[in-house]
Structure 1
Amino acid sequence: MPTRRRPEGVTRLFSPTVALLLREADVEALADLDAIISAVAAATRDLGRGEAQNQPRRRVFPPGGVLNVMFASWPGGRVTGLKAYTIGGGQVRFLVTLFDLDGAPIAMIEANRLGALRTGAATAVAARALAGRGPKIVAVIGTGWQAKTQVAALRACLEVSELRVYGRDEGRRARFAQTVGGRAAGSAEECVRGADVVVTITTSAVPVLQAAWVKPEALVVGAGCNIPSRSELPADLVTNCRAVVVDQRETAELESGDLLSAGYDFAGCVELGAVLAGTVELPASGGPLLFESHGLALWDLAAATTLLKSARTAGRGEEVGLFRSAGERR
Structure 2
Amino acid sequence: MAHEHSHQETRIVTGETVERLVDMETAISAVRSAFVDIGSDDAVMPPKTYVDVHAENGDFRAMPAAVDGSAGVKWVNVHPDNEERFGLPTVMGLAIVSDPASGYPLGILDGTTLTRIRTGAAAAVATDALAPTDVSSLGILGAGEQARTQLDAILQVRDLDEVVLSDLDDSAIERFIDAESNRNLSIRPGSPEDVAACDIVSTTTPSREPILRRDWIEAGTHINAIGADAEGKQELETELLTDAAVVIDDWEQCAHSGEINVPVSNGALTEVDLLGTLGAVLTDGTETAADSITVFDSTGLAIQDIAVGSAVFEAAKAEDAGERIDIIGAQQ
TM-score by shorter chain over 0.5:
yes
Does structure 1 retain, via aligned residues, the 8 Å contact 2:165–2:190?
Answer: no
Query: Structure 1 residue aligned with 2:192, among 180, 185, 188?
Result: 188
- In the alignment, is residue 56 of structure 1 matched against residue 58 of structure 2? no
Query: Structure 1 residue aligned with 2:328, among 317, 323, 326?
Result: 323
Query: Structure 2 residue aligned with 1:302, among 300, 303, 307?
Result: 307
Relative to 1, partners in 2 of residues 1:71 and 1:177: Cα closer, same or farther, differing over 3 Å?
same
- In the alignment, is residue 226 of structure 1 matched against residue 219 of structure 2? no
Partner of 2:30: 39
Partner of 2:85: none
SS in 2 for 1:133: coil
Runs (4+) of structure 1 exceeding 4 A deviation are none
Aligned partners of 1:213 and 1:223: how far apart in 2?
A: 19
Does structure 1 retain, via aligned residues, the 8 Å contact 2:98–2:106?
Answer: yes
| CA shift digits 1:116-172 (9 cap, x unpaired) | 100000000111111131242111111011111111001111111321111112232
Aligned partners of 2:204 and 2:77: how far apart in 1?
A: 20
Partner of 1:236: 239
Partner of 1:8: none
- In the alignment, is residue 70 of structure 1 matched against residue 63 of structure 2? yes
Does structure 2 retain, via aligned residues, the 8 Å contact 1:107–1:308?
Answer: yes
Q: How does 1:113-128 map to 2 (within 5 A)?
A: 113-128=113-128
- In the alignment, is residue 177 of structure 1 matched against residue 183 of structure 2? no
Shift of 1:325: 4.6
Relative to 1, partners in 2 of residues 1:249 and 1:87: Cα closer, same or farther, differing over 3 Å?
closer
- In the alignment, is residue 106 of structure 1 matched against residue 112 of structure 2? no
SS in 1 for 2:231: coil
| CA shift digits 1:175-231 (9 cap, x unpaired) | 3134224422331112222x1111101111211221111111111110111112111
Letter matched to residue 249 of structure 1: W
Does structure 2 retain, via aligned residues, the 8 Å contact 1:41–1:122?
Answer: yes
SS in 2 for 1:183: strand
Letter matched to residue 147 of structure 1: A
Partner of 1:264: 269
Aligned partners of 1:325 and 1:176: how far apart in 2?
A: 48
Does structure 2 retain, via aligned residues, the 8 Å contact 1:81–1:96?
Answer: yes
Does structure 1 retain, via aligned residues, the 8 Å contact 2:135–2:200?
Answer: no
So what's the TM-score if we normalise by structure 2?
0.87
Partner of 1:3: none
Shift of 1:39: 0.5
Relative to 1, partners in 2 of residues 1:286 and 1:32: Cα closer, same or farther, differing over 3 Å?
closer
Partner of 2:14: 23
Partner of 1:7: none
| CA shift digits 1:285-312 (9 cap, x unpaired) | 5641111001011101111122112111
Aligned partners of 2:291 and 2:28: how far apart in 1?
A: 29
Aligned partners of 1:41 and 1:218: how far apart in 2?
A: 21
Shift of 1:240: 1.0
Does structure 2 retain, via aligned residues, the 8 Å contact 1:56–1:296?
Answer: no
Partner of 2:217: 214
| CA shift digits 1:245-278 (9 cap, x unpaired) | 001122212222434336210133201011111x
SS in 1 for 2:119: helix
Partner of 2:132: 132
Aligned partners of 2:323 and 2:71: how far apart in 1?
A: 21
Partner of 2:287: 282
Length, aligned pairs only: 310
Query: Structure 1 residue aligned with 2:204, among 201, 204, 219?
Result: 201
Contiguous gaps of at least 5 residues in structure 1: 1-10
Which has the higher Rg, Structure 1 or Structure 2?
1
Shift of 1:281: 2.1
Does structure 1 retain, via aligned residues, the 8 Å contact 2:233–2:257?
Answer: no
Letter matched to residue 318 of structure 1: E
- The structure that is strand-richer by fraction is 1
Aligned partners of 1:273 and 1:70: how far apart in 2?
A: 18
Contiguous gaps of at least 5 residues in structure 2: 83-87
Relative to 1, partners in 2 of residues 1:180 and 1:67: Cα closer, same or farther, differing over 3 Å?
same
Does structure 2 retain, via aligned residues, the 8 Å contact 1:82–1:297?
Answer: yes
SS in 2 for 1:294: coil
So what's the TM-score if we normalise by structure 1?
0.87
Does structure 1 retain, via aligned residues, the 8 Å contact 2:74–2:94?
Answer: yes
Aligned partners of 1:121 and 1:40: how far apart in 2?
A: 7
SS in 1 for 2:136: strand
